[in-house]
Structure 1
């Protein structure tokens, strides 16, 4: 019976991970045609306000549902669960209405702080999605707490499909109707509310189906008081939400400081907006680079949970080390490949090679974010939320402190450097305060040295090949895309060959990868 339940949990985690992967790919890929349609300035307008949407999305999708599912899983009594859900909904409704009113009333002031008063209608548009947050978070958390993952997974994918469709339709209409970039941005941001509405409908359907079934009565088990529940929301739920929105919070700092400080550095308003739009190209690239690393981490989280439930400490640490090493290996490979091919990737996706240096530097974020999420997952699995929260807040303080100065000195190169430095501070604190066994995960069996050789070999082969082919062929944009794909395939093959030859990963780690068993057989 226990094995059957664990299989159900693992299958549910796989469904949720697959949905998250699809949603992340959709969220990153749509920005390429969007930028091509609206240009750098239109992209700047959208990306200035995107962090506000991103924070709301992570609250309703990643952070709060995970915390609420933990609350639900703590008790099997259906009456206790229903009352806890009701009280959670009351707290979240108060929070969401407060945020909605704050954004509506303060839209002008927020826009002025970003250095562009014309952004106010976009802030008004994105505020409406926060009204859906209580229902989305509570219903998703309930289903996940009962290990019913299909409603959350389906609602997540539907939400992204509807939102992306609205954004791209708005971009096409804007081009055809010669709209201003701000009118286009307002309609594009309304996609957040339309997506939340569609997602709410999906969850309402599953909730209605469940309510038709007989429900248990309220038992004598004491439910958490509002004060205790609020304390847990702030401590545990707050930590989960902060880490789920890590990249978005750093982008929010950029929204308030990059364009303003570019103007202070001497650029005109139009030039500063366009350059900020070039800098914003890095965000979808980082998201794509993180897809594989975060998918690997997520796929191993059920193993961590299972080890803790069975009180097998050695198995827990072994699985944690595996998660950290796999995340590090593939995030370094992704970052190295993107840096080596940045001129081609930039030209293929965005039509030119502006900002190659800043974007290449920004790609280092992939490695640091992957490691931060892996280490924080270990802490949170052990019920330790304080240190990850402190590390994240310290990193944000560092970003706030140096971002403006760095932009004034080195423009968007400085903004990328400030982001990387802030992430490095976060990671260092998490690594330094982790348990010795976890701290040594990246140093055993000369892992970092082997990883450096594997990635260096891949970057050298890919970089030299791409440079030579561009010099010989002088390709156009589409032909550049073909060269990039060729180099990506070759680079991936070189990395895997060197990784197996140098025994970068253990047999157990290879087998944990998708198709890892087939790869080992073929290599032999």
Structure 2
């Protein structure tokens, strides 16, 4: 509510550190008493980590100044403590349900995809291998590629909520369009990069070149997932947390149908499940955008989106040619790193030429931003 994201970030870092330390320490201490005891000790890490994160947040909470951190006065309607607590509980349920939808989707994949691969004629050992390519390799890469938009989605909630409480409709629109502008730049080039460099990516990280197909298809999810994350944050800031949950539920039904249908097609196989994943995230993002259009007037800035797509497309063609030209000259990992850096530089240059990037965008970039100020 104070638009301070540092306490949350610090608490999460502390949580992970404590969890890992306690998990490994307790497992090592209790291992002589058997594997069940060691596993039980390791599970203590989650509780200790969460408690540590809670203490960090308490510390920051009591260090907060009495006035707003922005120094602004609030002239809007005021609520009693009872009303605020009631509203927090009302908001927390759909937001929690939104978090539950992701593991629910994963569990449905576990129930449907292997079974339909067997129906398509794949042997059990290959079914396990193919399912691992999608859920254990391709999907984590997609989540890794959307770290920026995940952080943006978290930070946009208090900003939109603040403007919403002040009934600042212009501020809501500007924050929405600004966050979507950043979303395009953070997802479109990485979608193309992962698609073009899928083979070296899964080979270097997992030593599993056969995961290339699943990774290439799910690469399209980077853009849709980024849009979905940010639009979910915007809707939550607009006090509409139920909408993303309902949209995810509708998209989940579509995914189940596509998983059941496409995965059983022998020539598609795990590719069918990958396309179902793309459709799931894409449809949920589209539904969110429709509601954002309804409540803010913003939909998609097509003039900016096509510049991102063209820039990323040209970048993709050039890095594809560059990577294959250097394949026999440089080691794979060197070629991979150089091609990735080359691709991002090309994307920025082409975006500048198309006037998709301006001085203000450059100034907001980390590390190099000071050169644009």
Q: Same fold (TM over 0.5)?
A: yes
| Partner residue in 1 for 2:160 | 304
| Partner residue in 1 for 2:77 | none
Q: How does 1:44-443 map to 2 (within 5 A)?
A: 153-154=10-11, 156-163=12-19, 191=42, 193-201=44-52, 203-204=54-55, 223=82, 229=86, 233=89, 236-244=91-99, 247-279=102-134, 280-409=136-265, 410-435=268-293, 438-443=297-302
| Partner residue in 2 for 1:89 | none
CA deviation digits over 1:203-238, x for unaligned, max 9?
A: 358769999xxxxxxxxx77469xx95x974x5223
| Partner residue in 2 for 1:64 | none
If each structure's helix is expressed as a fraction of its own residues, which one has the higher value? 1
CA deviation digits over 1:424-477, x for unaligned, max 9?
A: 22122222233266444422xx1122111110121112111111211x23x6xx
Identify which of 345, 352, 373 aligns with 1:493.
345
Structure 2 residues without counterparts, runs of 5 or longer: 29-34, 63-79
CA deviation digits over 1:313-342, x for unaligned, max 9?
A: 212211111101211221111111111111
Q: Quote the Cα distance in structure 2 between the aligned partners of 1:224 and 1:308.
A: 17
Q: 1:466 to 1:168 in 2, by over 3 A?
A: farther
CA deviation digits over 1:80-123, x for unaligned, max 9?
A: xxxxxxxxxxxxxxxxxxxxxxxxxxxxxxxxxxxxxxxxxxxx
Q: Quote the Cα distance in structure 1 between the aligned partners of 2:197 and 2:168.
A: 44
1:322–1:509 CA contact under 8 A, matched in 2: no
Q: Quote the Cα distance in structure 2 between the aligned partners of 1:223 and 1:484.
A: 56
1:242–1:392 CA contact under 8 A, matched in 2: no
SS at match of 2:210: coil
2:183–2:226 CA contact under 8 A, matched in 1: yes
Structure 1 residues without counterparts, runs of 5 or longer: 1-5, 20-152, 173-182, 212-220
SS at match of 1:325: helix
Offset at residue 362 of structure 1 (A): 0.8
SS at match of 1:380: helix
Q: Quote the Cα distance in structure 2 between the aligned partners of 1:171 and 1:363.
A: 37
Q: Quote the Cα distance in structure 1 between the aligned partners of 2:142 and 2:40.
A: 21
Q: Quote the Cα distance in structure 2 between the aligned partners of 1:494 and 1:425.
A: 30
Offset at residue 486 of structure 1 (A): 0.9
Offset at residue 301 of structure 1 (A): 4.2
1:262–1:408 CA contact under 8 A, matched in 2: yes
SS at match of 2:355: coil
TM-score of the two chains, using structure 2 as the length reference: 0.80
SS at match of 2:269: helix
1:243–1:373 CA contact under 8 A, matched in 2: no
Q: How many residues align?
A: 347
2:149–2:230 CA contact under 8 A, matched in 1: no
| Partner residue in 1 for 2:335 | 483
Q: 1:206 to 1:456 in 2, by over 3 A?
A: closer
